[in-house]
A = this chain, B = another copy of it.
Amino acid sequence: MTEAAKLKDEELSLKLFVVLTRALEAIEKNIVKNIKSYGLNLTEFGVLELLYHKGDQPIQKIGQKILLASSSITYVVDKLEEKNYLIRKACPTDRRVTHASITEEGKKLMDDIFPKHRLAMSEIMAGLDIEEKEIVIEKVKKLGLYAQKL
């Protein structure tokens, strides 16, 4: 890379970070608005959605998928358990492990929320058309995977 290209790349990298941050903030603000009316925050919704779609999960798997420190998951799972949307189940084969399992009440809530969330999401994301979304998904995935490996 030429010296000029290096400078340009640095400029664009800084700018890309700002743009990504701003966009995600705006998107999240809208999602939160929807989900909050059901008494959930984004993290709680994420956990519940995981259990809803992928079935019971070891508590620590949840942390990996939602990207939360183990101590934070304990906290979130506590909250959801208090709200009766999930229960802890001891793992029979490994006594270190606890599974989180969505309750009937949790399932009912997600049956209600999730289709609305889907719809709201595509309204929030309507700034790009289908082709553009596909491009951005591909590029941003590449960007994220690279950054993850550093």
- Residues on A close to B: CB < 8 A? 5-6, 8-10, 12-17, 19-27, 29-31, 67, 118-119, 121-128, 130, 132-137, 139-148, 150
Contact (Cβ within 8 A) B130 A12: yes
Contact (Cβ within 8 A) B26 A148: yes
Instruction: Indicate whether A143 sits within 8 Å of B147 (C-beta atoms), given known contacts A13-B125, A118-B14, A121-B17.
Output: no
User: Among the listed B8, B15, B23, which residue makes an inter-chain contact with A147, where contact means beta carbons less than 8 Å apart?
Assistant: B23
Of listed A10, A23, A25, A31, residue having the most chain B CB within 10 A: A23
User: Among the listed B6, B118, B136, B139, which residue makes an inter-chain contact with A10, where contact means beta carbons less than 8 Å apart?
Assistant: B118
Task: Pick 11 A–B contacts, CB within 8 A, sort by A.
Answer: A10-B122, A16-B136, A17-B27, A17-B121, A20-B20, A22-B148, A26-B145, A30-B150, A124-B150, A128-B143, A136-B136
